[in-house]
Structure 1
Amino acid sequence: MNKRPVVALTGASGYIGKNLLKKIEESADVIALSRNGDKYGDSEHVTWRSCDLYSMVDAEKALEGADIAVYLVHSMMPSAKLTQGSFEDMDVILADNFAQAAKKQNIKRIVYLTGIIPNDNEPLSRHLRSRFEVENVLRAYGTPVTAIRAGLIVGPKGSSFPILAKLVKRLPFMILPKWTRMETQPIALPDVLHALDEGMRNESISNRSIDVGGPEVMTYWDMMMKTAGILGKNPRAIPVPFITVKLSRLWVSMVTGASKEIVYPLIESLKHPMIVQKENYVEGISNGKISFEESAKHALESERQEGVRLKLPQLPSFKQDVRSVQRVTLPQGETADSTALYYVEWLESLLNPWVRTTVDENYRCRIGISFSSKPLLELSYSKDRSTTDRALYYITGGLLTDSKKNTRGRLEFRKIPHKDELIVAIHEYMPSLPWFAYKYSQAFTHLLIMRLFSKHLEKRKAEVSVQKT
């Protein structure tokens, strides 16, 4: 008998993940990964594991024993009570942890669901630029990556189609900005699941990027009108040339009630044509069979008959923790390790004479104020978990941290693969100050200091370049 492959499925409790899990558990043993995996019961071919991919240790444990890993992760939603930083930088951390863990656990192939990357010579939107960067990060450590690139996915949940359906339901007439006439190739959820399944099974498409789309090329207005027809509506259209993408994302968020974290990146991407490209076409995978009208009917009928609401993701609740992530320049010749130590030295020079910093022979850093022997923060270097490309410090004490609750708080400096850039990130930090006081004092100060540090590194890099020329 052939051995069933073991598939590690990230986002197994999400919209795409739940449906993919049902499809592949018939032929594979699945390690279903979720931040709240302990809430789900195991079955004969499904084992649930709790996993926080912001932790490299968690990522390594999550992929243990797997042959293939499916990456369905996106960080558009906040991941802590206070999340400082862009979704692009969060996505880099998640992908880098996952890719390094995949290499360590000898994963044979990563299958990644992403967006179609257009070749329209326009600068990519933030959302698509981030999706492409994640694809490159996943490939950076040698594990083959099969990227399934899709446009708008039509189904009863998710994000894009529910936004479109809510616009049609709630507006008796619609203003049509320029982006509503942009062509796209929507694809039904079952066709996406088929493509992902092929990515796991079909070794001939390993390490390729494959575009997938449905049988029709349409404009967003075409999709709105077809959706309106299914709902028995006939909205009036008012084309306007002057509403920008920025204005559009605002009114879409207001009309649909969706959070700006979801709406803004998606609307910004609608300026691009999202059509399957010939160079990324694979027969039997790229060409979805289900029409837009058929998939939209199914989604809307699911809402009406089965009580499945066309529901957008909602902001989760969090403990009083902090995640703060910033991207900075890496000067030539420097490493993540050396930049971390330099940051502590620079911090004292910036805030002299009020702040004093020390670093001992074990790289334990203490940041304090001049008139007190007690440190504000104490950072303990993790030698075992650090490399030249990643310096990891655990937050182990200080007046500004809640020592009882702060069990996983950490600061890291991480080089982005193939770029002269660093991610500087604080994870799961539990402040000792009352939340309101912390948010408008210490948190604000940290952002200000990181902006100054970023500008300082840019200046330092420019000076090194001048000296070499």
Structure 2
Amino acid sequence: MRVLVTGATGYLGGRLVPRLVEAGHEVRVIVRRAWRLRDVPWAAGVEVVEGDLLDRAAVERAVGGMEAVYYLVHGMASGGDFEADELRAARNVAEASAAAGVRRIVYLGGLHPPGGTLSRHLRSRVAVGDILLASGVPTVVLQAGVVIGSGSTSFEMIRHLTEVLPYMPAPRWVRSFIQPIAVRDVLHYLLGALGVPADLNRAFDIGGPDVLRYGQLMNGYAVEAGLPQRPIAALPVLTPWLAGQWVNLVTPVPRRLAIPIIESLQFDCVMHEHDIDGVIPPPEGGLTPYRRAVRLALARERDGAIETSWRDGAVPGAPSDPLPSDPDWAGTTVYVDERERACGAPVGELWRVIEGVGGERGWYSFPLAWAIRGWIDRAFGGVGLSRGRRHADELRVGDAVDFWRVEALERGRTLRLRAEMRVPGRAWLEMQAVAEASGSRYRQRAVFFPKGLAGRLYWWAVFPFHGVIFAGMANRITAEAEAGRPARPARPRGIRSHIDS
């Protein structure tokens, strides 16, 4: 079957695509930035269309000739008027799919109580489902709650809240009932939706076999992680906004993601019907119990085999344009800090240290300064340093590395990172390993395009620290390469990353 997947750079889309390819489907994906898929293992097996779902012409190009469309995008992490954008994108896909003769739409929505008041994000997801169901194209809407899997936002919240706090003062939503579902079971239903009766057009609740209070989810994680169970006190004074700040402080999940999740957890999110069983049978061996899903996720984390992560998602408001070539800088204000060091180690050893930068290993210079910058970023709603990295030793284009994103990677030679921190301008950090007869040479440059007066003031405010931070970074990277080991500097207390478990 010819299948279009939207949201292919997201947590579930990035796992669904290779499974569709493996099943023999012809897969096309539409993404805003095609370069982000350059190093994804399955990229060569799919057709990539670059475009935005808000652009009707791009959507029409993407759906042309397709038999089925997966709609796996939502604006939970978006700023601004995300509801209007979500409805516009859904209408574009619905109308273009109907005009192109698409025979099936599959949408992953959110599990929610029927009737009553919903959070903004749940309300928006329900509205998107309604638009697709009314498109004239037979649509299956799968409504899932908390998804448990390595790298999922919900799992990260549960894991870090449980590990960090021996005693948990928590909002009232810890007493809400939740029906979690393992990511493998969500993928089972998504794949199975292509085989349902041709005229089927309705929503289905999906969930795992366990119905638990949110507090039980945290203590279930504690048992599987070998931790003591945590006493939990529900406090009525913690509003969703205040709880979001708390989650932002003690977990890697930034508040732009935490607040909408918490708002949704104020309601009991459980299945109200099980009609899906008559359409898509449960997976062989049955649905995955919650604690087994936790065990599987922990094993993935320990093995460094996280397939996709919430970190893969773009940061709203962060610059997405690549670093312009040097000649294009003429006539614009740009600040550059360049460093170069001879290195007695072979170029392969130098590259190994470069590719291991960030996460638990830190940034090779003045850890406290990097930590403070990360705390400031978190305080202003950014991702901070605690986002960590997908894999301890290997990078690919599109990977998040703390508050940077891998923009370019020429393995063995060049790594370029684009800043996704809160900063008045656009910033990049580039590191190169060059082979020489006597060993290798390390080249490093930080490039900053300021935005207005605030950007210029920012650069000159931090300029006195550059001699310590950037020079120290160059010195330490070459020293570690010569010593034949990547550094593992101690991180200041309170800084964590996704490698902690």
TM-score over 0.5 for the pair = yes
- Residue 209 of structure 1 aligns with an amino acid whose one-letter code is A
User: Would the aligned equivalents of 2:179 and 2:212 in 1 still touch at CA under 8 Å?
Assistant: yes
Give the match for residue 185 of structure 2. Answer: 191
- Say whether the 8 Å CA contact 1:38–1:49 is kept in structure 2: no
Unmatched 5+ residue regions in structure 2? 322-449, 456-501
Question: What 5-or-longer segments of structure 1 have no aligned partner?
Answer: 321-433, 440-469
1:14 aligns with 2:10: yes
Are residues 46 and 164 of structure 1, via their aligned partners in 2, closer, same or farther at CA, if it must alter by over 3 Å? same
**Letter matched to residue 28 of structure 1:** H
Query: How far apart in 2 are the matches of 1:117 and 1:190?
Result: 21
**8 Å Cα contact 1:109/1:206 also seen in 2:** no
- In structure 1, C-alpha distance between the alignment counterparts of 2:262 and 2:187, rounded to whole Å: 24
Deviation at 1:188, TM superposition (A): 0.6
CA separation in 1, counterparts of 2:95 and 2:226?
51
Cα deviation, residue 37, structure 1: 2.8
Aligned partner of residue 203 in structure 1, secondary structure: coil
Residue 53 of structure 1: aligned partner: 53
Q: Is the 8 A contact 2:138 2:199 kept in 1?
A: no
Determine the structure 2 residue equivalent to 1:301. 299
Deviation by residue 1:219-263 (Cα, 9 ceiling, x = unmatched): 111110011111221233233333233322221122213222211
Post-superposition Cα deviations, 1:86-138, rounded to whole Å, max 9, x if no partner, equal 2212211211111122122111111000101312x531111110001111222
CA distance in 1: counterparts of 2:182 and 2:207, whole angstroms: 8
- The residue identity in structure 2 corresponding to 1:265 is P
Return the alpha-carbon distance in structure 2 between the equivalents of residues 165 and 255 of structure 1. 11
TM-score w.r.t. length of structure 2:
0.59
Counterparts of 1:271 and 1:280, CA distance in 2? 25
Partner of 2:86: 91
Task: Report how far residue 314 of structure 1 moved.
Answer: 5.7
Partner SS, residue 52 of structure 2: coil
Partner of 1:154: 148
- Partners in 2 of 1:437 and 1:101 — Cα distance? 44
Q: 1:315 to 1:38 in 2, by over 3 A?
A: closer
Of 241, 250, 265, the match for 1:270: 265
Match of 1:113, SS?
Answer: strand
Q: Secondary structure at the match of 1:112?
A: strand
In 2: Cα distance, 1:298 partner to 1:37 partner: 31
**Aligned residues: percent identity?**
32
1:438 CA displacement: 11
1:210–1:286 CA contact under 8 A, matched in 2: no
Q: What value does the CA root-mean-square deviation take over the aligned residues?
A: 2.7
Instruction: Tell me if structure 1 keeps the 8 A contact 2:169–2:234.
Output: yes
Match for 2:106 among 103, 111, 116?
111
Matches within 5 A, 1:128-277: 128-203=122-197, 206-234=200-228, 235-277=230-272
Asked whether the 8 Å contact 1:175–1:240 carries over to 2, the reply is yes
Q: Is the 8 A contact 2:9 2:31 kept in 1?
A: yes
* 8 A Cα contact 2:133 2:202, kept in partner: no
Deviation at 1:151, TM superposition (A): 0.6
When residues 43 and 222 of structure 1 are mapped into structure 2, their CA distance, relative to the original with a 3 A threshold, is: closer
Q: TM-score, normalised by structure 1?
A: 0.62
Aligned equivalents of 2:83 and 2:207: distance in 1?
25
Q: One-letter code of the match for 1:49?
A: V
For the Cα contact (< 8 Å) 2:6–2:29, is it kept in 1?
yes
Deviations 1:394-448 (A, max 9, x none): xxxxxxxxxxxxxxxxxxxxxxxxxxxxxxxxxxxxxxxx944899xxxxxxxxx
Task: Return closer, same or farther for 1:19/1:172 CA change in 2, 3 Å cut-off.
Answer: same
Give a deviation string over 1:149-183, Cα, whole Å, max 9, x none: 10111111232221111211221211132211111
Q: Is the 8 A contact 1:212 1:286 kept in 2?
A: no
Separation (CA, whole Å) in 2 of partners of 1:252 and 1:38: 32
Offset from partner CA, 1:171-213 (integer Å, 9 cap, x none):
1211132211111110011111111112112126721101100
